[in-house]
Structure 1
Amino acid sequence: MSVEMALRAARVRYGPLEALHGVDLPVPRATVTVLLGRNGSGRTTVLRALAGTVPLSAGRVLWGDDDVTRLPAHRRARRGLCFVPDRRALHATLTVAENLALSARGGDTAPALDTYPELRPLLARPAGTLSGGERRMLALSRALLAPARVVLVDEPALGMSPAVAARTYRVLSGLCARLGTAVVVAEQRPPAGLPGGTLAHELRRGTVSFSGELAEFTSRPRAAGAPPSGRA
């Protein structure tokens, strides 16, 4: 399994608090990787460290054979990284159509609208007026309209119905199969419907407590006190 990106002994601080404590985490090509953990575990911080939106206080970010630790987020994006955060992923004052046009190469928005036909009647609406699930569909359209080498998504199915959530995960898995994209998603609980070979890393208090296949994680005896809802 070829590794596209990786964190090596990564530490991240928010003021006096350290959020990641020397995390090692590979991101394989053509594979979905799921980051799991309860509130405050460090899931979102791992995504931000890979995307370059937070600096490391120690450790490295590798992309292939290159050390990109000091490469700013906009240059990682130009290199082929798409980061869809859980908030502030849209231009709220622009319409749905305008948001799609910003990401569409050559102006073709069909891949997003074919995946999320729910957006078609909303094209003239400002993005800020959409429901939570509609906003996630629009935000995730970025990954469909500008194919990337690495796609990072924080809580892809937030606010979606179960049917749309399942469709979303099928689409993300399809990026791996068709384009060889490395997909990393952060979720509170294991999502359903992902293909065999999906990888999982559980984070607890800024450290990795489990690494393996998602099927192995979900088949373990369930510990008392499942992760509650919340953000990392």
Structure 2
Amino acid sequence: MSIALHHARVRYGPLEALHGVTLVAPGPGLTVLLGRNGSGRTTALRALAGAVPLSGGTVVWDGADATRLSAYARARRGLCFVPERRAVLGSLTVRENLELATVKDGFAPALDAYPQLLPLLPRRAGTLSGGEQRMLALSRALLTRARVVLVDEPAQGMSPTVAARTYELLSDLDACVVVAEQRLPPGLRERPDRTTYVYELRRGAVVFSGEAAEVRHGPGDTAGTAGQPGADRTEPGPRSGRRRPNPSG
């Protein structure tokens, strides 16, 4: 199980936002796209989802070329995309949002993941705080049991405790999970049971790829090893000799 961009280019009018980006997100597991605003991380996520077309390169999903698949077709095949904004249906209640995402067995698993939503069930989603809307959007993603889950800034507006819980949930999904963040979330370096892969993007290009454990601590850093020898690799892979993801799928 994997989803990948190979030499992907994306243009917004005369401006090119991605300059031949190659990245591989294996699954089950978590891959983090790091970068500041304007780095291309959100565009890379949207390209994987089919929300923006490629002007060059390919999207490869489980070894097959998925470049020409529409966003709708990718969703039908098991891809769930949670954008940073407008990720919930604001005119519907929390209960109705969850019911729309329920495949079977009801939406109890969503309330198990985020019990804070239980008293909010009758409220319209558009009246929720930013953090509450993120919980609702991610609960819907959990209910779909998708094979690929793409999330732009999953913990935005959440308290540190809820944010940590969110990343625990995402890391434990039996899916290929790709998230876009400005900084590496705390705790991902220390998980011995599952490897988290990291790509840092700057100005539409990959400047670092590796494991979360390789990312240096430091104020203002994203992937702090970028710019050091070996930090321009285009496939995530540990220096310790563990298995690297296969770019061909």
The TM-score, its normalising length taken from structure 2, stands at 0.85
Amino acid of the residue matched to residue 174 of structure 1? Answer: D
* Correspondence list, 1:145-160, <5 A: 145-160=143-158
Question: Structure 2 residue aligned with 1:171, among 156, 169, 172?
Answer: 169
Question: Structure 2 residue aligned with 1:135, among 133, 136, 144?
Answer: 133
Q: How many residues align?
A: 218
Q: Which residue of 2 aligns with 1:190?
A: 184
The Cα of 1:65 is off from its aligned counterpart by 2.3
Q: Which residue of 2 aligns with 1:215?
A: 213
List alignment gaps of at least 5 residues for structure 1: 228-232
**Partner-residue secondary structure (3-state), 1:91:** coil
Say which structure is richer in helix: 1
Kept in 1: contact 2:29–2:172 (CA 8 A): no
Say if 1:96 and 1:107 are closer, same or farther in 2 by CA, change over 3 A.
farther
Q: Which residue of 1 aligns with 2:68?
A: 70
Aligned CA-pair RMSD: 1.3
* CA displacement 1:15-35 (0-9 Å, x = unmatched): 111000000000101111011
Question: Structure 1 residue aligned with 2:27, among 26, 29, 47?
Answer: 29
Q: Which residue of 1 aligns with 2:238?
A: none
The Cα of 1:217 is off from its aligned counterpart by 1.2
- Give 4+ residue runs of structure 1 displaced > 4 Å after superposition: none
**Partner-residue secondary structure (3-state), 1:202:** strand
**Partner-residue secondary structure (3-state), 2:185:** coil
**Partner-residue secondary structure (3-state), 1:26:** strand
Is 1:87 the counterpart of 2:77? The answer is no
**Partner-residue secondary structure (3-state), 1:148:** coil
Q: Within 2, Cα distance between the matches of 1:133 and 1:58?
A: 36
Q: Which residue of 2 aligns with 1:7?
A: 5
The Cα of 1:107 is off from its aligned counterpart by 5.6
The Cα of 1:215 is off from its aligned counterpart by 1.2
Kept in 2: contact 1:4–1:63 (CA 8 A): yes
**Partner-residue secondary structure (3-state), 1:105:** coil
List alignment gaps of at least 5 residues for structure 2: 223-249
| Identical amino acids, percent of aligned pairs | 67
